[in-house]
Amino acid sequence: SAVISQKPSRDICQRGTSLTIQCQVDSQVTMMFWYRQQPGQSLTLIATANQGSEATYESGFVIDKFPISRPNLTFSTLTVSNMSPEDSSIYLCSVVLADRSYEQYFGPGTRLTVT
């Protein structure tokens, strides 16, 4: 398995501001993903973080709202821009390890509350 850390673990933000969430992995990974888990709901994929190129976004998610960077194999950031209360969610980073191509491992999540 892998040790995945996310920063911050939680935050309370005012509407209209932006928050950048970091994801760090201690192993070589092939793929990194960002998911959202809204209160009482399941996980929804936001985007695939591609190393050195633009992320691949799922339907309903756009780069202007959720810019993502992945400068190397083990680190990625997700920014939630111009936040509104509807962005209050848990944001999770997940990875596919280089030697375990069909298994995804999840970080502890970042609990975001927008007031």
Partner 1 sequence: AQSVSQHNHHVILSEAASLELGCNYSYGGTVNLFWYVQYPGQHLQLLLKYFSGDPLVKGIKGFEAEFIKSKFSFNLRKPSVQWSDTAEYFCAVKGGANNLFFGTGTRLTVIP
46 neighbors 35 (Cβ within 8 angstroms): yes
Cis check for the bond before 8: say yes or no (omega within 30 of 0): yes
C-beta closer to partner 1: residue 19 or 97: 97
Which range of residues in 18-26, 71-79, 80-88, 103-111 is near partner 1 by CB under 8 A? 103-111
State the residue for tokens 């709202």: 65
Shortest distance in whole angstroms from residue 66 CB to partner 1: 15
Please count the other Cβ atoms lying within 10 Å of the Cβ belonging to residue 31.
Answer: 16
Contact footprint for partner 1 (CB under 8 A): 30-31, 33, 41-45, 48, 56, 58, 92, 94, 96, 101-109
